[in-house]
Structure 1
Amino acid sequence: MFRSVLLAGLILFNSLSVNATESVIANSSNAIQFLNLNQVRAIFSLRVRQWDDGTPITVFVLEDRHPAHQTFIRSVLHMLPHQLRRHWDRYIYSGIGQGPITVRDETAMLLRVSNTPGAIGYLPEGISHDQVQIVPIH
């Protein structure tokens, strides 16, 4: 019985971490080679506001109801969309800072991240990422 539960847990964990269909992207001037899951979650939840070199982080996201946005939050951040929205709202309304910048579609995401130093965002896999760097998550 214990082995069955353990095996099911391992399969579920692997499916959450391996089957992400979204790629984290960053401005090509960012000197990051990879991020771990905790760093990505901290950046997208606005707890980390600057890169190690002091450059401000500008977070770009798609609209809340966009399928790629929901997939990113679930498959990469391992959160629910309403959890992240609640965190952003608390951050904004408490006066701590501004929320992420919302873009309308993947083309706008690519354009804004590629033209904004310190920017980070995400795109579905399969979309050309030539103007930005893909950030591996370890």
Structure 2
Amino acid sequence: MLHLKRAGLVVTGWGLCLCAGMAAADVVPVVSARNPVATMSKNQIADIFLGKTGRFPEGGQAVPIDQAEGTAARAEFYLNFTGKSPSQLKAHWAKIIFTGRGQPPLEVANGAELKRRVADNTHALGYIERSMVDDSVKVVLVP
């Protein structure tokens, strides 16, 4: 009987792992389809979102736009591109703001609003779920 309970726990654990993996969306960095930037590295994207630079690789102004704090897309983006958790990101921006070296990116409510703003502004850089990409925006991550 104990072996059956143990086997049930193992199967339940695998199921939870699979569900957690499926819940993670494929979040990609995007710019307006009219933006001349074709590709960017993870480091270039991270530097813009962490306030280390305000320019695209070719020199144009870059305006980062974040999804709302607490969204899954935001957490996944920062973890994948900067290696920072939500608490580490808060600490990063607290230091930058305190020292007067910058302000965090503009924040919008969700991916749909972010996509609309990026599509309308050739200087904007944001991130959305890959499934939301259409001809108004383009993915800029180097494969």
The interval holding the TM-score normalised by the smaller chain is 0.7 to 0.9
The structure-2 alpha-carbon separation of the partners of 1:51 and 1:128, relative to structure 1 and needing over 3 Å to count, comes to closer
61, 74, 81: which one pairs with 1:76? 81
Normalised to the residue count of structure 1, the TM-score between the two structures is: 0.76
Which of the two has higher C-alpha Rg?
A: 2
Alignment gaps of 5+ in structure 1: 1-18
Distance (Å, rounded) in 2 between the aligned partners of 1:52 and 1:75: 20
The structure-2 alpha-carbon separation of the partners of 1:90 and 1:75, relative to structure 1 and needing over 3 Å to count, comes to same
Normalised to the residue count of structure 2, the TM-score between the two structures is: 0.73
Distance (Å, rounded) in 1 between the aligned partners of 2:32 and 2:104: 19
* Residue-pair matches, total: 120
Deviation at 1:75, TM superposition (A): 2.8
Query: Which residue does the alignment assign to 2:119?
Result: 114
Query: Which residue does the alignment assign to 2:60?
Result: 55
Query: Which residue does the alignment assign to 2:39?
Result: 34
Task: Find out whether 1:103 has 2:108 as its counterpart.
Answer: yes
Distance (Å, rounded) in 2 between the aligned partners of 1:66 and 1:89: 20
Alignment gaps of 5+ in structure 2: 1-23
Task: Give the structure with the larger helix fraction.
Answer: 2
Q: Secondary structure at the match of 2:93?
A: helix
Task: Find out whether 1:87 has 2:89 as its counterpart.
Answer: no
Q: What's the Cα RMSD here?
A: 2.0
8 Å CA contact 2:114–2:128 kept in 1: the answer is: yes
Amino acid at match of 2:121: T
Q: Sequence identity of aligned pairs in percent?
A: 23
Q: Secondary structure at the match of 1:71?
A: helix
Query: Which residue does the alignment assign to 2:15?
Result: none
Deviation at 1:20, TM superposition (A): 7.2
